[in-house]
Structure 1
Amino acid sequence: MEVNCMEEKILAAAKELFMQYGFDRVSTTQIAKKAGCNQALVHYYYRTKPKLFQKVLGMELQIMFEQLLDIPKGKETLEEKVERIIDIHFSFLEANPDFPLFIFGEMRDNTEAFIIFREEIKSYAGKFMSDLQMVIDQQEKECGVRMINAFDLIFNILSLNIFVFLFKPFVGTIWELEEDRTKEIMAERKRNIKEIVISSLRIA
């Protein structure tokens, strides 16, 4: 029990520090200090900093993609599936609000962390996109939805969702809004995103 607890503390400390400072600016010494253990223990559990980062990232992405990969299998309409995709990704960002800025920074600097992130995404994305495209093609014939490439559909969703979280700090500070009001605005934005994306699928 204590072993699992310490492993979880190390993961939590690593996630917080990586998101705050970036992969290259965090050492295993800092992670150990924040987790309340020695550096040797960090290396004992996770070997290297890249492997530790991969574990942190993998845990977060696995939760999201396990839900996403189930969506094409369901019997819902394409519009209902799109709503679920938006909900799942939006919830991921709510749980990890610093993630977009972190990844953009790592991508800009082309760090080892971004390479790990890219490979993790590729391990899931191929099957998800392929399965989603099959759903789109089928419902285009049966339900008359607008023809769209799965990549374009997901690109639209990611762009709209991510921008909301990049802009969120301005919403709260510039307009001096209370936290409850900020949450209401975020919920409103999610509803608007669903309307925008679903409207793009309908043939006028």
Structure 2
Amino acid sequence: MSPKEHKQMEQLIIESAEDLFMEKGSASTSTTEIAKKAGCNQTLVHYYFRTKEKLFQAIFERKIKAFLTVFEDIGNMDLPFEEKLKRIIDNHFELISVNSRLPFFILNEMTTNPSRIGILKEKFAPMATNVYSRLDSDMKKAIQEGKIRKMETLELFITILSLNISVFLLHPILKEVLDLKKEKFREYARKRKKQNIEIILNSLTPEKRGNYEKKVFTRIGIDDRSLPSCPDKPGRVPDKSSGALSLDTTVGADRKSPELLSGRSQYDVYAPFDPVG
């Protein structure tokens, strides 16, 4: 065979093996089945990949890398945090959409062969660390600027994965129980992607409690017991007539003001906010 034909045969074996691994799992797939599907003899499968495990590893690593690359490429873009997040959720969803059996594949292989986790960690640790660190840095900056509420990066990461993946994990059940046709599911998936973006962005909105927003004030020589309680949230509101309280931080801030002066103490209150503005 020419070099081009060798490359084509290798790719055909990979595609055939991927279909079978996705459908049956690696343990239930034989090299004989892979060769038959690829239209070659078993010897060629071993020639290109030596063992079934090495063939599986090549496919598994390629899929994991595709997932990480989505986060890495967008994370390196010079974009506002909200726009980055939208693109990450959108691209991650689309990646699963064109590889709808991938979530089952990964979960099954990780569960039945836990040693694969260690192999992947060794191979992709630098890339995964870079992806996570960049997202963590962007989140902390957005929190510091008051653009999003305080949230752990891991919490956000898991939320994105679970919301996007669950759509496709449930597909086989919905298909059978609700007789959900392919086109109908695609329509549902398109809507669900938009909803996932909205759900995640809304979950990051700076915290609002009832009709009150949390603000931080400095108290100057005043007995806080003289301040009236907020009607629908335990706490205090500023006594405007006394002029004893001054606003220290921006609306929606959960952090204490770094500008606390000597002799003053800080005071958390819930003050009315304009839901429109």
TM-score, normalised by the number of residues in structure 1: 0.90
The structure with the largest helix share of the pair is 1
- Counterparts of 1:36-185 in structure 2, within 5 Å, are 36-110=39-113, 113=116, 116-117=119-120, 119=122, 122-185=125-188
Larger radius of gyration: 2
**Alpha-carbon shift at residue 81 of structure 1 (Å):** 1.3
Structure 1 segments (4+ residues) deviating >3 Å: 111-123
**Alpha-carbon shift at residue 190 of structure 1 (Å):** 0.9
- Structure with more contact order per residue of length (Cα contacts < 8 Å, sep ≥ 6): 1
For residues 99-147 of structure 1, give each alpha carbon's deviation from its aligned partner in whole angstroms, at most 9, with x where no partner exists.
2122222233235555545555545321100111011111212243112
Q: From 18, 22, 34, give the equivalent of 1:19.
A: 22
Measured on the aligned residues, the alpha-carbon RMSD in Å equals 2.0
Which ranges of structure 1 fall in alignment gaps of 5 or more residues? none
Q: From 35, 38, 46, give the equivalent of 1:32.
A: 35
Distance (whole Å) between structure 2 residues aligned to residue 154 and residue 91 of structure 1: 17
- Could you say which residue in structure 1 is the equivalent of 2:225? none
CA distance 1:116–1:27, change in 2 (3 Å): farther
The structure with the largest strand share of the pair is 2
Q: Between the two proteins, what is the percent identity of the paired residues?
A: 38
For residues 80-102 of structure 1, give each alpha carbon's deviation from its aligned partner in whole angstroms, at most 9, with x where no partner exists.
11111111221221121112122
- Could you say which residue in structure 2 is the equivalent of 1:192? 195
Which ranges of structure 2 fall in alignment gaps of 5 or more residues? 209-277
Preserved CA contact (<8 Å) 1:106 1:114 = no
